[in-house]
Amino acid sequence: MSGTTDRTTSRREFTKHAVGLAAVSTMAAISVPHVYAAESNTIQLALIGCGGRGTGAAGDAMSTKLGPVKLVAMADVFDNRVKGSYSRLKEQFKDMVDVPDDRKFVGFDGYMRAMDCLKPGDVAICTTPPAFRWVHFGYAIMKNLNFFMEKPTTVDGPTTRKMLKLAEDSTKKNLKVGVGLMCRHCRARQELFDRIKSGQIGDIMLMRAYRMHGPGGFTGPKPNNAPSELLYQIQRFHSFMWASGGVYADYYIHNIDECCMMKDAWPVRAQACGGRHYRGNAVDQNFDNYSVEYTFADGTKLLLYGRGMNGCHSEFASYAHGTKSLAVISTNVHTPAMCRIYKGYNIVKPDLAWAFPQPEPNPYQMEWVDLMQAIRQDKPYNEAQRGAIASMVTSMGRMAAHTGQIITYDQMLNCDHEFAPEVDKFTMASAAPLLVDASGKYPIPQPGIKKTREY
């Protein structure tokens, strides 16, 4: 964390600015005409990033039942992903998928050609690796398109600042923007938040979050039949910091964000430990385990435990300890959350004080219901700013673990190191932003030795 911009942005100044943006959003809703596919009442979609997440997001969008929706364009840098995603979506949604071959685009400029197929007010779905998020979001704003983007939306300080500026631009245009932090749209978590705010568990003293399961992001040496080095790294984006922020950013952001939701605040600093074990010939940049202590402004702690190792204890959950009792924020997986409150601090049936009734609505669909309602009813709706902050706070914990230093909110926001500043210029012939060393492996974090901002 050696570099900062000349003019730093303090957390207090940024919070004040965020309040100002909220006012801009309200004014925009009054002064800017709403833009959506009003002529036919059909909201058209373009899918940029046709992997599993993109296919799932497009499917959720077409399942909203709030009016006609049609997928009209698709783009990816891998032809087989476009074809595979199209086949699955066409089989499931039939006439709602109208993507002939001349609206299927392969290449780094495919996002532009796919968005060019839309009208102002339609929706571009961006589920590519997060390194490309600011590029695609900027083009959508220029085209007056509503936007849905997967998380995380940034992986470093410079891209966070870019996304915050784009969030402001999109708000001024009254565009509706959703971010794939679906826990915020979970009806169970929303009720739990209301109960916590009403004082049912007392004041939050401590939160704990766990994501511990088998390995993620492992990759061996590049096979002989692999695509170019750049495409190989994009294909295995969880393994490389520039593309995704690593498994820490991609996996742990949900647990971090749902805890910040319950606290109704963002942490101001992070310190952490982590390491690699039993690696064999793996060449990725991730740690196998992370233990991170986030601190909020009032001194409250969030303890995050992440592990990607076979044969170990597994847990996937988040908890909030109040001065009166314990709340379970999530259990086992992201959905169903199975939110609960206990009379004390032991998770035992006799002490159960409240539980959200099952089955609970699927938050992956609820985030699309909320976005589509905002589009059709022209309500102010923009999650870009919050998504950027959640992504930056996540990166703050990752950088603390990878450098062995305490990293503050302001340091992370103002850090000047950008993993891949030229992503907007990539072509199929471009070199990868990360190179292997003489042994065929990529740089890995070395806490205490490499204390710089590159991780």
- Tens digits of per-residue pLDDT, 418-442? 999 999 999 999 999 999 888 878 9
Q: What residues pair up with 330 in beta bridges, in sequence order? A: 318
Q: Are residues 301 and 340 in the same domain?
A: yes
Q: Which of 382, 413, 434 is the last residue of a domain?
A: 382
- How much is the pLDDT for 81? 98
Q: Are residues 309 and 413 in the same domain?
A: yes
Size of the chain in residues: 455
Which amino acid makes up residue 193? F
- Tens digits of per-residue pLDDT, 280-295? 778 899 999 999 999 9
The mean pLDDT value of the chain amounts to: 90
Domain that holds residue 123: 11-183+365-382
Specify the CATH number for the domain of residue 19: 3.40.50.720
Q: Are residues 204 and 298 in the same domain?
A: yes
Q: Are residues 41 and 163 in the same domain?
A: yes
Q: Are residues 157 and 195 in the same domain?
A: no
Chain CA centroid to CA 430, Å: 26
Residue 124 has pLDDT above 90, yes or no: yes
Q: What is the mean pLDDT of residues 51-78?
A: 97
455 within a domain of the structure (yes/no): no
Q: Which of 382, 414, 435 is the last residue of a domain?
A: 382
**More reliable by pLDDT, 451 or 200:** 200
Q: Are residues 239 and 321 in the same domain?
A: yes
Provide the whole-model pTM.
Answer: 0.90
Residue 364 has pLDDT above 90, yes or no: yes
Specify the CATH number for the domain of residue 277: 3.30.360.10
Residue 319 has pLDDT above 90, yes or no: yes
Q: Residue 54 is encoded by which pair of tokens? A: 């993109």
Least confident of 63-67, 155-159, 331-335, 387-391: 331-335
- Tens digits of per-residue pLDDT, 203-259? 999 999 999 999 888 767 777 787 899 999 999 999 999 999 999 999 999 999 999
Q: Are residues 195 and 328 in the same domain?
A: yes
387 within a domain of the structure (yes/no): no
Q: What percent of the chain has pLDDT over 70?
A: 90
Which residue pairs from 336-340 have beta carbons closer than 8 angstroms and sit at least 24 positions apart in sequence? 336/188, 336/360, 337/183, 337/186, 337/188, 337/189, 337/192, 337/363, 338/188, 339/188, 339/189, 339/191, 339/192
Residue 453 has pLDDT above 70, yes or no: no
Q: Are residues 80 and 112 in the same domain?
A: yes
